[in-house]
Amino acid sequence: MAYYTVAHFLQKGDMYGNDHSSVKPAQLTNEIWEFLFCNGPFPENSSISSSLLKEMKQEFDYWYPFDLRVSGKDLIQNHLTFCICNHTAMFPKHHWPRGFRCNGHIMLNSEKMSKSTGNFRTLRQAIEEFSADATRFALADAGDGMDDADFVFEAANAAILRLTKEIAWMQEVLSAEPSLRNGPPSTYADRVFANEINIAVRTAEKNYSEYMFREALKTGFYDLQAARDEYRLSCGSGGMNWNLLWRFMDVQTRLIVPICPHYAEYAWRELLKKDGYVIKSGWPEADLPDLTLKKANKYLQDMIISMRKLLQKQVSGSKKGNVNLNSQNKPTVGLIYVDEQYGGWKKECLGILQRKFDTSTGSFAPDKEILSELQKSDIAQQGNFKQIQKLCMPFLRFKKDEVLAVGVQALDLRLPFGEIEVLEKNSDLIKRQLGLERLEILSMIDDALERAGPHAAVVRQNPPSPGNPTAIFL
């Protein structure tokens, strides 16, 4: 690696070393190498010109220590290990390597590359077939870590379509500027979209710094595009915010530049009309993400999906029936019952689990201790405790499993946001998504069951709980 920093002086750009007329091998004495690589004294008696030696020394000092060496996983036991050994033996600590990155082998369309079978592409062939940026996009999307990466032709072709489609969308938005809202984020959808942009900036930066390029592509492009598409659906008649869309286009262009530099430069200069080069523009700034807002939006989107499935089932009359949301029996009114906080025996069970959870080990006390605590609790004094206990045990098991899946916040008595507030602020979106004319958000703490009429039994049989509202369609 050290030799590479001065090889162009010695070989005049000939990688095979056939041309070494500038310096003869005999002139490269130990004193020369000591001076170049180990800060030794200047070799006054060398036949190599002092100006050339100083240039070589400057070149080495510029490039060392090298930041990263990337190689295949099969070289860990030999080349890479010896690289570390040689550097620690020969160089001072400030010239030791700063990082190594190992990767797997590359496959082509899920099969091993092989010239004999014809399943083979050189980089030049891939670039000529798919373009440089689409090739880089597909390579980044092929895999992370030491698993074998899979370069898929369909992914490269899809990248061409994605990037071309994105250019067309940006042109459309830029031409529609006068018809869009201006100003800071003001609606719930605005705040969610702005938050998703901040999340993309932060997570993509982390992924790039860890050389996880597929994850960087996911967080900095795919997830960001999904957030943009969701924003378009959420805005409704109020329209989208121009300032947010401009920030989205700016951020997306900067986040994709390490993978698709040609596309990014075109978008930066030709579409956004910015000066200079995007590759020199720096990483976009981002506020600290609001994770509670992200959870609230996930709750909202999950609720819309589950309610749509419930509505489709109600319209079709059967899980296997044909879904026909335009049929005459389609409901037009939605009642959503919400219970924002656990109470009664569920509250008691959660309190027991909170006390019996060890945060240092991330585990619960033995089931015997939890059962003993339950039998000493206030609900054990009730006359129908045996009946309640039959409900408690599956609830305790469910919550323990949920903690292992999502974390200790699963034991909270309520969600970190107001469910009713989120649903009410997005009632227009819910109505549009479900095709309803009217929507009511009802709290179980109020006397609201009578609004369900003959369907009240459904709410009693499937009572809502924090994070799980119950919907009735009329």
DSSP symbols for 262-327? HHHHHIIIIIS--SS-GGGS-PPP-PPP-HHHHHHHHHHHHHHHHHHHHHHHHHHSSTTSPP-TTS
Provide the sign of the torsion angle of the four alpha carbons 364, 367, 372, 373, taken in this order.
positive
Measured between alpha carbons, how far apart are the two ends of the chain, in Å? 73
Largest CA distance in the chain: 104
Q: Tell whether pTM > 0.75.
A: yes
Instruction: Name, in order, each residue with C-beta under 8 angstroms of 403's C-beta and a sequence gap of 6 or more.
Output: 353, 357, 364, 410, 411
What are residue 331's phi and psi, to 5 degrees?
-65, 155
Bond before 65 cis per omega within 30 degrees:
yes
Task: Give the pairing type, strands 363-364 and 100-103.
Answer: unpaired
CA atoms of 309 and 429, how far apart (whole Å): 16
Output the tens digit of pLDDT for each of the chain's 474 residues: 999 999 988 887 777 767 767 788 889 999 999 999 999 999 998 999 999 999 999 999 999 999 999 998 999 999 999 999 999 999 999 999 999 999 888 899 999 988 888 899 999 999 999 999 999 999 999 998 888 999 999 999 999 999 999 999 999 999 999 999 999 999 999 999 999 999 999 999 999 999 999 999 999 999 999 999 999 999 988 899 999 999 999 999 999 999 999 999 999 999 999 999 999 999 999 999 999 999 999 999 999 999 999 999 888 874 454 544 555 678 999 999 999 999 999 999 999 999 999 999 999 999 999 999 999 999 888 888 889 999 999 999 999 999 999 999 999 999 999 999 999 999 999 999 999 999 999 998 877 787 778 878 888 888 999 999 999 998
Instruction: Name, in order, each residue with C-beta under 8 angstroms of 214's C-beta and a sequence gap of 6 or more.
Output: 140, 141, 142, 143, 144
Instruction: Check if the beta carbon of residue 271 is closer than 8 Å to that of residue 250.
Output: no
Q: Which two tokens stand for residue 194?
A: 């702005």
Helix 344-355 vs helix 367-375: crossing angle, to nearest 10: 130
CA atoms of 273 and 352, how far apart (whole Å): 60
Instruction: Check if the beta carbon of residue 197 is closer than 8 Å to that of residue 248.
Output: yes
